[in-house]
Structure formats: C-alpha cells, structure tokens
C-alpha cells in the first residue's frame, strides 16, 4: 500500500517535471477564413501587372499586412481573379488633355489679338491711302484746272528764244509762231488780263498774268478780244494773229516772264507745264 502510493507519487512528480531538450508542441494557429481564400502576394503582384499592361491602373488606397489590396471604399480590389481587379483610366492623361485645352484656348486668344491688331493696322492704312488718294485727286484737279495749252492750234516756229538778227535790237526774247493772219489766239492758262494795247515794236499786245505772278505776252496781234481786269481760262480766245509793230509777216510773238521780270524761254516753260510746242 505504502509502496503503491509511493509509486503513484513518483509517477506524478515524474510527469510534472519538464523534459530537457524537447520543445513543447503548440497547437497550430487557425487562419482567418478570408486569408485562406486570398492568393499569395506574388500572385497578387502578377494580377496587378497584367491589369496595368492591359491599359488600366489598379486603384488601391491601402494594402494590409496580409497582402490584401483594398479599394477606396474598403472592398477587396484584387482577390485572386482578373474580374475582381478594379482598373481606371490613367489620371495623367486627363491632366494632359486639360493642359492642352488651356494651351489651345490661350493660343486662340493670342491669335485673336493678333488678328484684331492686324485688322486695326489695315484699317489705318486704308484710311491713310484714302486720304492720300483724295489729296492726289484734288492736286490732279488743280493741275488740270491750271493745265497750260498751246496758244495756236496750227503754226510753224519761225524764231526761237535767244536768237540774234538785225531784226531785233538785242537777242530774241520770245518764241515766234507763224500762222495766217486772223488765226485765233488762245489764253495759255487761267489768269487775269492786266494789259492790252499797242506797244511799239511789239505791236498790239495783250498781257495775261497767272496766279503765281507769271506774265504771258501775246504780241503783233491784229485784234484784241479781251479787256483789262477780265478773268480768262486756258483755251479761251483773247485775240487774233497779226503783223503789227516790228514784224516781217503774220505771227505770234510769245514771251514768258516769271513774276513780271526778265523773259525766259517759252519753249522750255511750255514743256515744263506738259505742253509740247
């Protein structure tokens, strides 16, 4: 009896003593049901790479320590199948399009400003050209209004300016234009009659003074058809060809005296005013 209790006591002490060199086995940890259905991390990475290569990007806000990829709303974004992976267009593309739109709008605004500036400049140039054209028309009208004309319709030049002869006491001071007696003499330009009458060797003479003070002398006339103070226009008849004064035959002796001073070559003066004798 005593031995039996001792043995029982020895058995209890033997079982309670730890065994040296051996580790106490522990029960295996129970996996969460969710972890069992999720694929491993390498598989998730492969699925994500395939989704990105297909043209999308996996939207994931956080990844837990167990390898779960969750969406922004907390749902599982990738759970081992392609259909569960959520993909969205690359947001950078939208940003590029937005920047391009703003750039295009700015370019359009700049182009519009350039167009408006060019139109304003063209308008100014057009107005300047119109003003210049109006001035040119006025000047042309004035020139036409004061256009010189030949004093005779038909004639022959018989003596020129500066010629020398016994017929003149000095060199010839005008241009002689021979024509039949009674041929109409026309005013060369617009002006006022400032002198008429007989003047020695010049015979019957008419002086026409132009606006700039130039005097035109018409000499050797048979008749004088105008009076002092009368305004005449170029082309109007002021008298007729004759042979009065110092003359060897019917002709018109024409002199041009700028400012009423010394005579100049009438041939040159006619050319300067667009008339060819």
Q: What is the pLDDT of residue 78?
A: 43
Residue 10 has pLDDT above 50, yes or no: no
**What's the whole-number average pLDDT of the chain?**
76
Kindly indicate the confidence band of residue 70, based on its pLDDT and cuts at 50, 70 and 90: very low
Question: Can you tell me the distance from the alpha carbon of 232 to that of 149, in angstroms, rounded to the nearest whole number?
Answer: 13
Contact (Cβ atoms closer than 8 angstroms) between residue 216 and residue 192: no
DSSP-assigned states of every residue in 14-28: HHHSPPTT-PPP-PP
Residue 105: band (very low, low, confident or very high) from pLDDT cuts 50, 70, 90 = confident
Q: How far is CA 122 from CA 73, 109, 116, 130, 134, in A?
A: 62, 20, 10, 12, 18
* pLDDT per residue as tens digits for the range 187-240: 999 999 999 999 999 999 999 999 999 999 999 999 999 999 999 999 999 999
Which residue from 184, 176, 189, 178 is spatially nearest to 275, judged by alpha carbons?
A: 189
Q: Are 151 and 252 in contact (CB under 8 A)?
A: yes
Pick 222 or 6 by higher pLDDT: 222
Q: Compute the distance between CA of residue 185 and CA of residue 251 in angstroms, rounded to an integer.
A: 10
Report how far residue 168's alpha carbon sits from residue 248's, in angstroms, rounded to the nearest whole number. 12
pTM tops 0.75, yes or no: no
pLDDT tier at 164 (50, 70, 90 boundaries)? confident
Structure tokens at 141: 């009208």
Q: What is the largest CA-CA distance in the chain?
A: 200
Query: Of 23-37, 105-119, 159-173, where does the model show the most confidence?
Result: 105-119
């Amino acid at each position: 009896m005593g031995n039996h209790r001792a043995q029982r006591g020895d058995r209890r002490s033997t079982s309670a003593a730890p065994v040296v060199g051996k580790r106490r086995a522990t029960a295996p940890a129970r996996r969460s049901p969710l972890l069992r259905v999720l694929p491993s991390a390498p598989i998730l990475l492969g699925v994500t790479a395939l989704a990105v290569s297909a043209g999308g990007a996996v939207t994931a806000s956080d990844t837990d320590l167990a390898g779960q990829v969750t969406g922004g709303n907390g749902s599982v974004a990738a759970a081992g199948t392609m259909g569960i992976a959520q993909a969205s267009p690359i947001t950078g593309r939208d940003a590029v399009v937005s920047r391009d739109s703003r750039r295009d709008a700015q370019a359009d605004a700049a182009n519009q400003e350039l167009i408006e500036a060019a139109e304003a400049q063209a308008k100014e140039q057009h107005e300047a050209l119109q003003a210049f054209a109006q001035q040119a028309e006025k000047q042309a009208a004035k020139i036409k209004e004061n256009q010189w004309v030949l004093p005779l319709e038909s004639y022959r030049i018989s003596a020129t300016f500066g010629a020398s002869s016994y017929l003149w006491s000095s060199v010839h001071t005008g241009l002689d234009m021979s024509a039949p007696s009674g041929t109409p003499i026309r005013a060369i330009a617009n002006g006022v009659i400032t002198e008429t009458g007989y003047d020695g060797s010049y015979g019957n003479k008419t002086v026409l003074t132009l606006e700039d003070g130039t005097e035109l002398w018409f000499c050797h006339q048979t008749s004088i058809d105008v009076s002092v103070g009368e305004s005449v226009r170029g082309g109007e008849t002021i008298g007729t060809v004759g042979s009065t004064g110092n003359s060897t035959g019917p002709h018109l002796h024409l002199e041009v005296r700028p400012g009423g001073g010394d005579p100049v070559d009438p041939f040159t003066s006619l050319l300067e005013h667009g008339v060819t004798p």
